[in-house]
Amino acid sequence: MAIPFLNDLFKKPAGSVLGVDIGSSSIKVVQLRKKGGKAVLETYGELALGPYAGIEIGRATNLPNDKIVEALKDLIKEANVTTKSCGISIAAASSLLSFIRMPEMDQKQLATMIPIEARKYIPVPITEVALDWWVIPKEESSFTDFDKPPEPGAKPPEKGIDVLLVVIHNDVLNRLNQISHDAALQASFYEIEIFSSMRSVVDQSLDSVMIFDMGAGSTKLYIIERGILRASHTINRGSQEITLAISRSLGASVGDAEHIKRTIGLSPEPDNKSVKEVISLNLDYIFAETNRVIGAYERKYNKSISKIVLTGGGSLLKGFLDLARTRFQTEVVLGDPFTKTEAPAFLEPVLRTAGPEFAVAIGIALRKLQEAE
């Protein structure tokens, strides 16, 4: 469903930019412009990809380029997008993020050694991928750190430096180039979705924060500390699994099961007990795996996760936020990326509800605005 608005309130301006998020079950776009130092929201929209693959709305797809382009053009038209200047997301599944340990050395030596070290993690020839890396800054010790006893069983810190290695296959970049060209867009960059989400939903903080991104086909977990990605993990289950489980349990079509999931969800009414049980059972694994990842991080770094930010369409399941708050021993909030933009006050409730789904698209658009400065 596309959600066009605001273009009737604003004249077509110069300098508008577009963030494009091509997900497994839908495409999202967000158009922004800069005014008075603020990011002004002009329009946004979402379009399900299921019908383009001949399957139900909400299902994960693997569409060929021409179908992606067709859907993207349809969404651009329906959302009244007025700019071609954009950035496009790269799905986490199409990239490789690894944290590697390297000996202390200068940047020139690292630039030589990291491609050699990277071969241990890349299952294809190094010439077939685009590779980038960042040194993770060392944490400055404080007096309280010296007073804080180490976690029982925690290993002493290893010497050396931590490096975040990012690898993207050239075929992925070539595909996005082709999609951008065929959709008549002018993409100046492609960005792995986690970095877009970090920009839109994580504030500058010294605390450790987890982004819990529940999509149709998978759930991605990212831990950020001091604005730096420190850990990532993918759970190969998402909101699509819940729909299929409801379909099997109730003997309903997948389309009807998706409708039941969206309208009833985890509703506590007695008549909905069976639906709630099916959903809860499927979420148990995802929550347990998330707690395992949190525990491993806290033991390794002797730090607690201060907050979990929910993003992705799966987190909009009715009752999901309340259930998550009972399963995690920390603060849990819904991501609200539209707070990084300026929009009419009457749209605030709608944008707050839609926010978790648009974290990536908004993050892309915000970077594009920065690039235009």
Domains of the chain: 17-95+168-372 (3.30.420.40), 96-167 (3.30.1490.300)
Q: Is the pLDDT of residue 271 over 80?
A: no
Q: What is the DSSP letter of 342?
A: B
User: Is 203 in contact with 12 (CB distance < 8 Å)?
Assistant: no
Sorted by sequence, the CB contacts under 8 Å of residue 229 that are 6+ apart come out as 97, 164, 194, 195, 198, 222, 223
CB atoms within 10 A of CB 190: 20
- Asked if the model's pLDDT at residue 263 lies above 90, the reply is no
| pLDDT value for 141 | 45
CB 252: neighbour CB atoms within 10 A?
Answer: 15
Q: Lowest mean pLDDT of 6-10, 56-60, 129-133, name the range.
A: 6-10
Mean pLDDT of 113-135: 88
Mean pLDDT in residue range 282-302: 95
Both tokens of 296, joined, read 């491993």
pLDDT at 151: 55
In one-letter notation, the amino acid at residue 222 is: Y
Contact status, residue 258 vs residue 126, Cβ threshold 8 Å? no
Task: State the DSSP code for 279.
Answer: H
Q: Give me the pLDDT at residue 6, please.
A: 42
Could you tell me how far CA 29 lies from the centroid of its own chain? Answer: 14
pLDDT tens-place string over residues 221-261? 999 998 889 999 999 999 999 999 999 999 999 889 888 88
* Arithmetic mean of pLDDT, 252-271: 86
Q: Which tokens belong to 287? A: 């929550």
Convert the pLDDT of each residue in 153-202 to its tens digit: 555 556 788 899 999 999 999 999 999 999 999 999 999 999 999 999 99
pLDDT at 148 over 60: no
Average pLDDT, the chain: 88
The residue-averaged pLDDT of 292-297 equals 96
